[in-house]
């Protein structure tokens, strides 16, 4: 059996409700600042939920030509922008000599819903002739990866992942496997979402999934807190450049950290409620895949949605997977500050996990004023915690019971 190759991260890029760019997003996250506020993208006055974590001050023209902006959906804009930043950060050049050894796996939960809503309204108002010729290519989910591949001339492995809230972590994990097993030397992995729309807010609101703390938007996302009432919908994208270690060293690339292990499974239980046992099994499988003992993990970047049932389920899963060591872990939820980016969550949170390792600091879980008695672990309340982090996990648990866990570690040389 061929030895598994080591995989490192050499570039990162992000568009988040905190800022455009990884560095400013990270700086605000560590300070405990929030990107949640009243919805401005449409008139939400008649909705039960009138708050969200919107991307602000983002200009797609800074990352792509105007012609491409006009023909593509915002979820593609975010994906292309995050990838542009990650590629520049990595210093990777794709050319005719290596294009078939570079691949892309990019995911989304919803796809181009802005394009869909706009064209549906045009069709209802004026008939078939009012539909844009770019309707289909702006809407279908795989067009983010297609536009990325076209932009850089990529011809290696490609896939569009759609596994609800686990999408971003699945994109990283599947990319990890391609590099690990020698099918590619470099993979672009990411997830993107742009679903702060009337239909999105209404649909998630009808499920009872969203917080309705409209009078206190900055306090609405409160994972593991006794008074949480749902998650806050966010938007944005994250992109990571995953690279085979020797390939990265040969070109002198900066290494953020190493991907050590990955696992994915499905609960087979309920469309929205989670099964802690299978979540725990996913964590354990990911640790085993990376040859990591539970006691070696220092930090867990939790899925931490701020929904009443799922925070309890995740807490139970962490206890099952880590045993007594669960009470020694630092655990925090990035969603407390940037809401739930759906497909973008796993990738952005994995980027922040790598930065936590690199900068030796666990970001806070804000708004944790009165911990739920059933959530009795250490969630880094309110203020970031300086600490050495050698190994960390990032959890993503999605609707339908899709689970994905990525294990990351400090790069310590060959």
Q: What is the pLDDT of residues 120-130, one digit of tens each?
A: 999 999 999 99
- Within a domain: residue 120? yes
To the query of whether residue 165 is one of the catalytic residues in this protein, the response is yes
Catalytic option among 77, 178, 247, 340:
340
Question: What is the model's pLDDT at position 2?
Answer: 62
**Domain's final residue, options 250, 280, 313:** 250
Separation of CA 110 from chain center: 14
- Read off the tokens for 78: 């975010």
Q: Whose CA is closest to 200, among 333, 36, 341?
A: 341
Phi/psi of residue 293, nearest 5 degrees: -80, 145
Catalytic option among 165, 247, 282, 375:
165
- Within a domain: residue 167? yes
* DSSP string for 53-103: B---S--GGGTS-HHHHHHS-HHHHHHHHHHHHHHHHHT----TTTGGGEE
244 and 284 together in one domain: no
Give the dihedral sign, CA 177/178/180/183: positive
- Inter-axis angle of helices 343-359 and 22-31, to 10 degrees? 80
Q: 165 - beta bridge partners?
A: 163
Q: 105 - beta bridge partners?
A: 159, 189
To the query of whether residue 325 is one of the catalytic residues in this protein, the response is no
136 and 225 together in one domain: yes
Under 8 Å CB-to-CB from 303, ≥6 apart: which residues? 165, 310, 314, 333, 335, 345, 395, 396, 397
pLDDT digit string (tens) for 179-229?
A: 999 999 999 999 999 999 999 999 999 999 999 999 999 999 999 999 999
89 and 184 together in one domain: yes
Q: Whose CA is closest to 385, among 327, 313, 331, 315?
A: 331
Q: Whose CA is closest to 315, among 389, 383, 395?
A: 395
182 and 324 together in one domain: no
Domain that holds residue 180: 7-250
113 and 74 together in one domain: yes
**Domain's final residue, options 217, 250, 283:** 250
- Within a domain: residue 2? no
DSSP classification of residue 334: T
Q: Domain count for the chain, please give it.
A: 2
Catalytic option among 109, 247, 303, 375:
303
- Within a domain: residue 414? no
Q: Whose CA is closest to 287, among 398, 401, 187, 392?
A: 392
DSSP classification of residue 382: S
Provide the CATH number for the domain around residue 321: 3.40.47.10
- Within a domain: residue 391? yes
Question: What is the model's pLDDT at position 1?
Answer: 47
- Within a domain: residue 67? yes
Question: What is the model's pLDDT at position 314?
Answer: 97
88 and 211 together in one domain: yes
- The answer to pTM > 0.95 is yes
- Within a domain: residue 239? yes
237 and 267 together in one domain: no
179 and 299 together in one domain: no
pLDDT digit string (tens) for 91-131?
A: 999 999 999 999 999 999 999 999 999 999 999 999 999 99
**Domain's final residue, options 230, 250, 270:** 250
> 313-346 burial, b if ≥16 CB within 10 A, otherwise e?
bbbbbbbbbbeeebeebbbbbbbbbbbbbbbbbb
208 and 348 together in one domain: no
The residues of the chain scoring below 70 in pLDDT are 1-2, 272
To the query of whether residue 340 is one of the catalytic residues in this protein, the response is yes
C-beta separation of 306 from 222 below 8 A: yes
Separation of CA 362 from chain center: 17
* CA–CA distances in Å: residue 198 to residues 139, 192, 235, 307: 17, 18, 14, 21
268 and 215 together in one domain: no
């Amino acid at each position: 059996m061929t030895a598994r190759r080591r995989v490192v991260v050499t570039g990162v890029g992000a568009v988040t409700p905190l800022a455009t760019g990884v560095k400013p997003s990270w700086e605000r996250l560590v300070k405990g600042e929030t990107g949640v506020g009243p919805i401005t993208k449409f008139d939400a006055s008649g909705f039960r939920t009138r708050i969200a974590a919107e991307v602000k001050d983002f200009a797609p023209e800074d990352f792509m030509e105007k012609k491409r902006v006009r023909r593509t959906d915002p979820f593609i804009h975010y994906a292309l922008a995050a990838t542009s930043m990650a590629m520049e950060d990595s210093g990777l050049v794709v050319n005719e000599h290596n294009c078939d050894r570079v691949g892309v796996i990019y995911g989304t939960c919803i796809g181009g819903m802005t394009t869909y809503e706009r064209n549906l309204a045009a069709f209802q108002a004026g008939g078939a002739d009012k539909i844009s010729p770019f309707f289909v290519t702006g809407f279908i989910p795989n067009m983010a990866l297609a536009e990325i591949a076209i932009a850089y001339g990529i011809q290696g492995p490609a896939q569009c992942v759609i596994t609800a809230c686990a999408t971003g972590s699945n994109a990283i994990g599947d990319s990890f496997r391609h590099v690990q097993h020698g099918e590619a030397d470099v993979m672009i992995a990411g997830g993107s979402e742009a679903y702060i729309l009337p239909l999105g807010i209404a649909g998630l609101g009808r499920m009872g999934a969203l917080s309705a703390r409209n009078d206190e938007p900055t306090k609405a996302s409160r994972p593991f807190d006794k008074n949480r009432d749902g998650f806050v919908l966010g938007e944005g994208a994250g992109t990571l450049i995953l690279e085979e270690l020797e390939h990265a060293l040969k070109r002198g690339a900066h290494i953020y950290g190493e991907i050590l292990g990955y696992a994915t499974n499905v609960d087979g239980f309920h469309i929205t409620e989670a099964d802690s046992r299978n979540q725990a099994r996913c964590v354990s499988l990911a640790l085993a895949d990376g040859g990591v003992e539970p006691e070696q993990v220092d930090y867990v970047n939790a899925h931490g949605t701020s929904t009443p049932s799922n925070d309890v389920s995740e807490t139970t899963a962490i206890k099952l997977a880590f045993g007594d060591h669960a009470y020694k872990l630092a655990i925090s939820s990035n969603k407390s500050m940037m809401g739930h980016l759906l497909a973008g969550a796993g990738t952005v949170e994995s980027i922040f996990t790598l930065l936590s390792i690199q900068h030796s600091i666990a970001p806070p879980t804000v708004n944790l004023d009165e911990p739920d008695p059933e959530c009795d672990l250490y969630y880094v309340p309110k203020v970031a915690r300086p600490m050495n982090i050698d190994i960390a996990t990032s959890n993503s648990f999605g609707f339908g019971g899709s689970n994905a866990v990525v294990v990351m570690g400090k790069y310590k040389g060959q």
